[in-house]
Structure 1
Amino acid sequence: MLSVLSRMIDIAVVALGALLAASIHAQNLVWLDDMQSTLLAFNCVLVIMTFPSFRIYRSWRGKPVYDLLWRVTLAWLIVEGAGVLLTFSLHRSDLLSRLWLLYWGVITSALLMISKAVVHAVLKSLRREGFNQKAVAIVGAAPYGQFLIEQMRSRPEAGFSPVCVFDETFASAELAGVPVKRDLADLTLLVRGRAIRELWLALPIAQESKIHQIVTEFRHDFVNIRFIPDVRSLSFFNHAVVDLLGVPAINLAASPITDLSVLPKRVFDRVFAAGVLLALAPLMITLAVAVKVSSRGPVFFKQKRKGIDGHEFEIYKFRSMKVHVETPGHVTQAKKGDKRVTRVGAFLRRTSLDELPQFINVLKGEMSVVGPRPHALEHDNIYKDLVKGYMFRYRIKPGITGWAQVNGFRGETDRIEKMMGRVKLDLYYMQHWTFGLDMKIVAMTLWKGFAGANAY
């Protein structure tokens, strides 16, 4: 029912967008002409045919709304592009205003995103109030069954409600306040009485016979059966199920940020980096002259760092130290009162202005504005075996600023506890990444400033 209603809303939004575009184009409230009406009808049919292939009408219960918004925007742009190609193939493009098509594309994209976001927010609000809930029975008790119960209760907006736990070997009558059933007949009675809408199998993969028994028992019943194996100890990321050669696969160690969802991040990185380099060009030229005049050596300090998936690149900074030779395989971090730091360099490091050339790395696609900070290769070799999850930070592009930096982890990591704290925040960022979180980190960086007590 909701899927049909969603389709009707999308068709109405596409039609409304076409009318608004025509009114703006004509600067008056008008109806569509024959060619515009024909293209609208064609695009509405394409919406019905195309949107389902982008999985727009699946259940978005408990899933991030930004993924839905990018799917619907991309799907609509493809639909409008197909409509334009049709007009060209019929040699009728001269009858259509390109400005109207542009207005229609932009307005409808905005309306689709707004309508989806509003519906998603309304449903979340209703579920938070206890409506539109799906009753869940968990097969498998502590500790993973209890973890799933806590997850459902911590996110009521997802609309899942635990009603019972089935475990033939569990001794207690309750688990986290949820009644425990030990007899399969009791669970069967609940399922066939429509008191259960979801069966979650929180069992280890080794219990194949139990999984097979449950699936066979309820194969004729209209209940959703989901196998949710406990793989938390195997990965630092959310375990997305992907289609690999037509076979479902669970990502245990893979980037949590998909190519589709990262598109706005990529666009922002290039636009923002270009804007910063253009706006601050006079300042950067002045700093370059100051670095050159203050001590002998090059303007830029270059050092090999790891980028996404371990690909190495040269990071750029304004040189802040006197030219010196390090022991091979060893990098000495700057300390407070370090005699290697020049007077100009001390100012640059204190204000983080030495980091400005890294926007060149961003423009080249080697770094992102926001992401885990890359460390010297020598430090990678030290910490990869000492800090759990350290190398997972390189599954995405490193950044100029990051969640760890705006939360106080900047500068020298002279103790392993500091690196552990930084890595923990970097992994949190990767697990909870959204484009909105990036914008929040950028805003926090600008608000707090780049200077800090640990920057020396």
Structure 2
Amino acid sequence: MFNNRNYNRTFFSAPQSVTSFVAAFLEPMISVLSLLGTMAYFDEPVERAVMALCLLVFALTFPGRNRFFDSRLEAAVDITTSWVAMLLILWLCGYATSSLGFFAFRVMACWAIVTPALQWLVVLAGKSILQHRASQAHARRRAIVVGASPLGGKVARALETNPDGGTEFVGYFEDRTDARVIPEAQSKRLGGLRDVANYVYAHGIHEVYITLPLGSQPRIVELLDAVQGTTASLYFVPDVFGISIIQGRLQDINGVPVVGICETPFTGTNELVKRLSDIVLASVILVLISPILLAVAIGVKLSSPGPIIFRQKRNGLDGEEILVYKFRSMRTQDNGAVVKQAIKGDSRITPFGAFIRKTSLDELPQFINVLQGRMSIVGPRPHAVAHNEEYRQLIKAYMVRHKVRPGITGWAQVNGYRGETETIDKMQARVEYDLEYLRNWSLGLDLQIIIRTVRLMVFDRNAY
């Protein structure tokens, strides 16, 4: 479902590293500088409240999304939705802390309008610079692929469709002529492995991608010895398409290089940003929805005999068992070795339970799970332990979704995979979206998911 785009992001991050670094700081810096500039324009003093707001804005927007490769319309929509979500969070924080009066309305209104416009203009400028750079033939980096296997073909196609447009794929080098060589390599075969070094030197090749199988180790060593006499950058591409790569990166363990294949995106600064945003948002939301919690609790109690809160065992971070809270919506409570999913017209669901399931009000107690550190506001939805034991045997990389804390809402849910998953194909699609979230997490993506979830609470027809 996502192979080509993810392959680009995983294996060709080096040519885009500068662009990604700039994008990470661009949105936070524009947001903060725009606020300070607006304060200066209206001749307002920069006091402690303003400095605290600057720090909060920077934390909520870092790292920024790389929008340079999006279309102009996609960038505008993404910037607008992310900014509106951020303003809503800031307003909730200000309302909960009674600090809205510290800021002049005209300053905040001007800042709210100017900032997304500046962000979009900077993105347009960045896109123009990248397009101009890509249009200059002498500025493009020339690349070859060593190995004309299906893996080599994937690398070549990824190079040709790479959105930064700064790489030109020249051709293949391969010794074999048997059926294992892909057909498209016939017209672009430049020679054998012994010809690589001379060709790189003579034609100014910048990048060499080695896609030979590990069984060809002597040939790889010989090739590396030869090509290292040139100035070309060397990349070894392991055949890992049978593995779902999550946050693939090279690490150093006391001088030993290690290639990460499956890793959580929440390490270092990302972990701090994710946890702080969860704590702040969950605290503010619980304060605001406390009357709703009380009303739903009364409704559950009056609707049928039984406890108000239903505690179910789920698998959390790293597969550890956790207790997840929900308002009880059924007459029975399945929490054993066999758990039957709710289906449309399920007789176990009470009339009031159907209402709170439809509107997702039954999920509200999970904000307490977020404060406890068991869950996150956004992440893969936790399934019953019994379901995990079933699907981990049927769906490849199913348990990888447990590399992060489960969420109240998730990328799969806002893309139509909410409610019953009556077929393996639907569960497979849900898992694919969960893995896509892990590969591409950002705080901006979390905010988009939250906004789309609010809309689904009113208009969704898939929950029952």
Instruction: State the TM bucket, normalised to the shorter chain.
Output: 0.7 to 0.9
Q: Report what 1:143 is aligned to.
A: 150
Q: Which residue of structure 1 aligns with residue 417 of structure 2?
A: 409
Q: In structure 2, do the counterparts of structure 1 residues 260 and 159 end up closer, same or farther at CA, with 3 Å as the change threshold? A: farther
Distance in 1 (CA, whole Å) between partners of 2:295 and 2:373 is 26
Does the residue aligned with 1:421 lie in a helix, a strand or coil? Answer: helix
- The 1-side partners of 2:183 and 2:425 are apart by 39
8 Å Cα contact 1:67/1:261 also seen in 2: no
Q: Does the Cα contact within 8 Å between 1:409 and 1:422 map onto a contact in 2?
A: yes
CA distance, structure 2, for counterparts of residue 342 and residue 112 of structure 1: 44
Any stretches of 5+ residues in structure 2 without a counterpart? Answer: 1-12, 29-45, 65-118
TM-score by length of 1: 0.72
Choose which of 303, 306, 311 in structure 1 pairs with 2:320. 311
Q: Which residue of the other structure, out of 61, 66, 76, is the alignment partner of 2:15?
A: 61
1:184-263 aligned at under 5 Å gives the runs 184=193, 186-237=195-246, 239-263=248-272
Look up the equivalent residue of 2:374 and give its one-letter code.
E
How far is the alpha carbon of 1:244 from its aligned partner? 2.2
Figure out how many residues of one structure are paired with residues of the other and give that number. Answer: 376
Please tell me the residue identity of whatever aligns with 2:279.
R
**C-alpha deviation, 1:117, in angstroms:** 7.5
**Is residue 314–residue 321 contact of structure 2 (8 Å, CA) maintained in 1?**
yes
Tell me which of 317, 335, 347 is aligned to 2:355.
347
Give the secondary structure class of the aligned counterpart of 1:196.
Answer: coil
Partner of 1:134: 141
Amino acid at match of 2:429: G
Answer whether contact 1:62 1:158 (CA < 8 A) is retained: no
Aligned to 1:7: none
Instruction: Name which of 415, 424, 428 aligns with 2:436.
Output: 428
What are the equivalent positions in structure 2 for 1:78-93 lying under 5 Å apart?
A: none
Relative distance call for 1:120 and 1:194 in structure 2 (3 A) is farther
Q: CA deviation at 1:405?
A: 0.9
How far did residue 334 of structure 1 move? 2.1
SS across alignment from 1:436: helix
Query: CA, structure 1 residues 98+177, in 2 after alignment: closer, same or farther (shift >3 Å)?
Result: farther
Which 5+ residue runs of structure 1 have no aligned equivalent? 1-58, 75-96
Do the aligned residues in 2 keep the contact of 1:307 with 1:313 (CA within 8 Å)? yes
CA distance in structure 2 between the aligned counterparts of 1:62 and 1:178, rounded to whole angstroms: 29
Aligned to 1:283, the other structure's residue is in SS state helix
Structure-2 separation of matches of 1:112 and 1:70: 4
Contact 1:369 1:399 (8 Å CA) reproduced: yes
Q: Deviations over 1:94-150 (max 9, x none)?
A: xxx9969959x869x799988997896555333543553211111111211110111
Alignment check: 8 A CA contact 1:69 1:116 kept: no
> 1:427-455: CA deviations, max 9, x gaps?
22222323322222222222333553332
Q: CA deviation at 1:351?
A: 1.4
**Which letter maps to 1:217?**
A
Larger Rg computed on CA atoms: 1
Question: Residues of 1 paired with 2:401 and 2:208: CA distance?
Answer: 35
Match of 1:180 among 189, 194, 215: 189
| CA distance in 1 between partners of 2:306 and 2:372 (Å) | 25
After superposition, the CA RMSD in angstroms is: 3.7
TM-score norm. by structure 2 comes to: 0.71
CA distance in 2, matches of 1:342, 1:379: 23
Aligned residues of 1:165 and 1:178 also touching (Cα < 8 A): no
Deviation string, structure 1 residues 41-86 (Cα, Å, up to 9, x no partner): xxxxxxxxxxxxxxxxxx9623495666658999xxxxxxxxxxxx
Map Cα deviations across residues 3-58 of structure 1 (whole Å, 9 max, x no partner): xxxxxxxxxxxxxxxxxxxxxxxxxxxxxxxxxxxxxxxxxxxxxxxxxxxxxxxx
In 2, Cα distance between the equivalents of 1:173 and 1:334? 47
Q: How does 1:341-420 map to 2 (within 5 A)?
A: 341-420=349-428
**Aligned residue identity for 1:61:** P
Higher relative contact order (CA 8 A, sep 6+): 2
Would you say 1:268 and 2:222 are equivalent positions?
no
